[in-house]
Amino acid sequence: MGNNIKNEIEKIVIPKELHERSKLGVLKAKSEKPKRRKLKKVVLSVGVSTAILFSTGVVAAFIPSFNNLIFHVSPDVALMLQPVEESSESNGIRAEVVGAMSDNEMAVIYITLQDVTGDRIDETLDLYDYSMTGARMFTHEIISFDEVTNSAILRIVAGGKELNDNKVNLRISSFLSDKETYEVSVNANLSEFTRKYPDTIPLDMNNIPGGGGTLFYQLRKEETVQVLKPNQNTISLPEIDFMHISNIGMIDDRLHIQVNWTENGMDDHGYFYFTDNNGKEVRPSNIYFGTDDNGQTNYGRDFTEYIFRTNNIDLENDHLIGHFVSSEKYTTGNWSTTFRMKTTGEEKRINYLEDFHTWTSDSLSVSPLGITIYGNGYLNELNNIKVAVTMTDGSTLPFDLVRSFSEDNKVTVKFLTDRLLDISNISSVNVDGKSIFFE
């Protein structure tokens, strides 16, 4: 089946930290604002098209929206999709669940959104408030946009429990569009801020909406940490009016850069990173918080504190870059569809106890979509787990795509490969050099 599955799943952009609207927070952005482009149709051979239609059942042949979708996914993915065709219309926007597939703890859902009265949908479309019963963590990606029909196809990936063969309700309450992305160089003399001790205020890590990065889990364990006192060293960035740097300073040998967001934007977000002359990038951890009228920290998102370890950056020579995103349009409505989530096939699960430093696994499962390790603790993005399977014919299949979900001390890490798995032909699973055999 080649690299079709891999190419499709690689399009699913799941950041190292989950979306900013999840409880853990989000750092997500694109390198530049995409240009408008008309829908490009992919022509499949008659043999491939026929195989897709017949393998998904007779009903699929009579569903135009599903037939349109298969031109935008690989044949291997189309073979797994369950046709749904459940739609909902609100505020002049038509939403339709076209197809879906699941392996119990991960669901992939394809939907279309079409503006039948205006031009609120474009290639920067971003779902804002949405949910699905039985699922906890979400990410999504637009896979095609048709400027002529004002419509887009999106792929939603959701993590959950016991999704197979259950009725689920997908609800969308709002989305963003007309997105602008800014990539700016920060012209500040950092040594001026690092030579002196800044004023700080305490932050209760149990009273924040979230954060991210490798330092976040360590800071959360400390329960109370020090952050910069807001608006002591303000710096504006070129062409950006929805945020400003509110302070810079060193705390515990780490560089803190604090940002104050305006109250106008719905989902303004972004991050800083350092880059050297060779193009190597270093990104920060981050914490979200608010302040009260007395200047003390409280629960909120008015401020983001970006925290860098200084042992891998050169403050004198490396360049500090800001990458920030703002959306001009915010559309609300009530789009709700209910459908039954069908499984992609059988699953095998065994006990698997292993220490991964910040979390400990308790079980491992194999499904046609990949290998999943479950456990408890905090997911550390520095964990570099190597997974492969040995087939009954002696061949080895590596897994080079990783998707992870972490919530309420529960960790789920899914490993994906470039093809569907025939579970009956798997001899063993190899995790970091250790073989695990299924009886």
161 and 208 both lie in a single domain: no
Find, among 113, 134, 142, the residue nearest to 36 by Cα: 142
335 and 381 both lie in a single domain: no
- pTM comes to 0.68
Alpha-carbon span 198 to 380, nearest angstrom: 29
Residues 6+ apart with CB under 8 A from 366: 347, 348, 349, 372, 389, 421, 423, 426, 429, 438
Residues 6+ apart with CB under 8 A from 422: 368
Alpha-carbon span 397 to 416, nearest angstrom: 10
Residue 52 lies in a domain: no
The residue type of 109 is: I
Find, among 235, 211, 232, the residue nearest to 284 by Cα: 211
Neighbours of 407 (CB within 10 A): 15
Residue 49 lies in a domain: no
Residue 218 lies in a domain: yes
287 and 376 both lie in a single domain: no
Q: Which pLDDT does position 169 carry in this prediction?
A: 92
Neighbours of 170 (CB within 10 A): 26
Alpha-carbon span 176 to 330, nearest angstrom: 5
CATH of the domain at 122: 2.60.40
206 and 130 both lie in a single domain: no
Find, among 7, 12, 14, 16, the residue nearest to 281 by Cα: 16
230 and 273 both lie in a single domain: yes
Q: Which pLDDT does position 87 carry in this prediction?
A: 92
Alpha-carbon span 256 to 274, nearest angstrom: 13
115 and 169 both lie in a single domain: yes
User: Can you tell me which residue has the tokens 């991210």?
Assistant: 212
Residue 397 lies in a domain: yes
How many Cα atoms sit within 13 Å of 292 on the Cβ side?
Answer: 8
Strands (E), 277-318: 281-282, 285-291, 297-309
Alpha-carbon span 12 to 29, nearest angstrom: 13
Enter the tokens of residue 150.
């004002």
Q: Which pLDDT does position 46 carry in this prediction?
A: 32
Alpha-carbon span 214 to 227, nearest angstrom: 17
User: Can you tell me which residue has the tokens 């932050």?
Assistant: 203
Overall number of domains in the chain: 3
Q: Which pLDDT does position 9 carry in this prediction?
A: 43
Enter the tokens of residue 237.
């960035």
φ, ψ of residue 154 in degrees (nearest 5): -120, 150
Q: Is residue 106 classed as helix, strand or coil in its secondary structure? A: strand
Alpha-carbon span 260 to 250, nearest angstrom: 18
Residues of the chain scoring pLDDT < 70: 1-64, 70-71, 74-76, 78, 104, 136-137, 160-162, 345, 380-383, 418-420, 439
Residue 309 lies in a domain: yes
Q: Confirm if 139 and 12 have CB atoms less than 8 A apart.
A: yes
Q: Which pLDDT does position 297 carry in this prediction?
A: 96
Strands (E), 205-268: 211-212, 224-228, 243-251, 254-261
Beta bridge partners of 190: none
User: Can you tell me which residue has the tokens 């780490």?
Assistant: 254
Residue 172 lies in a domain: yes
133 and 220 both lie in a single domain: no
Element (H, E) at 104: none
Find, among 382, 433, 377, 434, the residue nearest to 408 by Cα: 377
How many Cα atoms sit within 13 Å of 17 on the Cβ side?
Answer: 25
The distance in angstroms from the start CA to the end CA of the chain is: 27
Which domain-ending residue is among 306, 341, 376? 341
Q: Which pLDDT does position 102 carry in this prediction?
A: 82
162 and 202 both lie in a single domain: no
Q: Confirm if 176 and 266 have CB atoms less than 8 A apart.
A: yes
Neighbours of 139 (CB within 10 A): 21
206 and 248 both lie in a single domain: yes
Residue-number span of the structural domain to which 207 is assigned? 195-314
203 and 158 both lie in a single domain: no
Q: Which pLDDT does position 52 carry in this prediction?
A: 33
Alpha-carbon span 11 to 99, nearest angstrom: 17
Residues 6+ apart with CB under 8 A from 293: none
Residue 188 lies in a domain: no
Residue 95 lies in a domain: yes
271 and 243 both lie in a single domain: yes
- Farthest-apart Cα atoms in the chain, separation: 72
User: Can you tell me which residue has the tokens 């303000």?
Assistant: 234
199 and 310 both lie in a single domain: yes
